[in-house]
Amino acid sequence: MKLPMLMQDQKAKITQPEISVIIPIYNEVESLEHLIRRISDTLDETHVSYEIICVDDGSVDGTTELLRKQVDLYPQLRGVVLRRNYGQTAAMSAGFNHAQGKIFVTLDGDLQNEPADIPLLLAKMSEGFDLVSGWRKERQDAALTRLLPSKIANLVIGWITGVKLNDYGCSLKAYRAELIADMNLYGELHRFLPALAFIEGARIAELPVRHHARQFGQSKYGLDRTFRVVMDLLTVSFMKTFLTRPMHVFGLLGITFTGLGVLTGGYLVFLKYGLNEGIADRPLLILSAVLLLTGIQLFSIGLLAELLMRTYHESQSRPIYRVREVVQASNSEN
């Protein structure tokens, strides 16, 4: 009984690459060939073993067909084709789950990240870090709609999570695989991986990397993305208790109501004891009591909902994505 397991382990070790490069891809057909060539050229030079995992997040522009052709040219390349478009976080999560390397490297599929920076991240990792995050010091995106919201988001995320990075949004990152192997990602959470990892005790570094303007296709995001990120940010602010969306609504309402209740109550106390006025017949007395009680109730409902959500997320086995097929070289053994 023990022997086959041992052999399996050994086989896993022999085939385990050092590096898994993970790329979420949604309609990037013009960039794909060039990107894969650049990555494999770069990594061939470093002489580390690697695999490239392209997660096709429901592309409809021919990316999937091109990926099929590419896997025959690059034995290290695998395509994980999702059933539909699930979003970047889900696609990354699919990539993590299919990756076998000791170190995961993520980057975007639109050539905005520089593949030649990957060895720099790996060098930094070897200094003893568990996660190295790229910093797009000279980011080539629109100033008002992208750079400004990011700047604010980075400040707030750093402030809330205690992990101060200049650029949470940079996709080019390297992680020790065991760090994120069983992390439960959803929403826009992929960008908070450094903060999540920090809670797990990870040593984190940030490294300036190059950034290029998008050459082909369009960004998949607009201002609505910023809103979603902010909502997830609030979620992350409760990270130690985890996964708490309902708290955003109930908590805020509860605090507002309680706050108003305290204010009006304070005013009444001041009237009674400061100015010696009777308050028993004032409608404000009832309002104040109602506000206070409602506030406390709303807050408690929020707490309960938070617990429910947490139980829900942790108990559900439903994945946040579904795989249609895995494409790889036809002569591949895996």
Interacting residues with Mg ion (CB under 5 A): 108, 110, 112
Contacts of 154 (CB under 8 A, 6+ apart): 165, 166, 167, 168, 169
Secondary structure of 9-52 as H, E, C letters: HHHHHHHCCCEEEEEEECCCHHHHHHHHHHHHHHHHHHCCCEEE
Least spacing, CB of residue 20 vs ligand UDP, in Å: 16
Least spacing, CB of residue 197 vs ligand UDP, in Å: 20
Residue 93 within binding range of ligand UDP, rule CB under 6 A = no
One-letter amino acid for residue 69 of the chain: K
Residue 244 within binding range of ligand UDP, rule CB under 6 A = no
One-letter amino acid for residue 61 of the chain: D
Length of the chain: 334
Instruction: Report the C-alpha gap between 106 and 218 in whole angstroms.
Output: 20
Instruction: Report the C-alpha gap between 260 and 267 in whole angstroms.
Output: 11
Residue 91 within binding range of ligand UDP, rule CB under 6 A = yes
- Indicate which of ligand UDP, Mg ion, none lies near residue 232 (CB less than 5 to 8 Å, by partner kind): none
Least spacing, CB of residue 28 vs ligand UDP, in Å: 5
**20, HSE (Cβ side, Cα atoms, 13 Å):** 27
- Indicate which of ligand UDP, Mg ion, none lies near residue 105 (CB less than 5 to 8 Å, by partner kind): none
Query: Among residues 219, 256, 332, 334, which is the contact residue for ligand UDP, using CB under 6 A?
Result: 219
Q: 265: helix, coil or strand?
A: helix
Nearer to Mg ion, 101 or 115 (CB): 115
Instruction: Report the C-alpha gap between 197 and 36 in whole angstroms.
Output: 28
Contacts of 48 (CB under 8 A, 6+ apart): 17, 18, 19, 122
Residues 5-44 within binding reach of ligand UDP (CB under 6 A) = 24-26, 28
Question: In this structure, what are the phi and psi dihedrals at residue 207, rounded to the nearest 5 degrees?
Answer: -135, 125
Residue 113 within binding range of ligand UDP, rule CB under 6 A = no
Query: Among residues 42, 102, 183, 221, which is the contact residue for ligand UDP, using CB under 6 A?
Result: 221
Nearer to ligand UDP, 218 or 331 (CB): 218
- Indicate which of ligand UDP, Mg ion, none lies near residue 91 (CB less than 5 to 8 Å, by partner kind): ligand UDP
Residues 55-74 within binding reach of ligand UDP (CB under 6 A) = 57
Q: Which stretch binds ligand UDP (CB under 6 A): 34-42, 82-90, 193-201, 306-314?
A: 82-90
Residue 232 within binding range of ligand UDP, rule CB under 6 A = no
Residue 87 within binding range of ligand UDP, rule CB under 6 A = yes
* Extended beta strands in the chain, E state: 19-25, 50-56, 77-82, 103-106, 131-136, 173-176, 204-209, 323-328
Footprint on this chain of ligand UDP (rule: CB under 6 A): 24-26, 28, 57, 85, 87-88, 91, 108-110, 112, 219-221
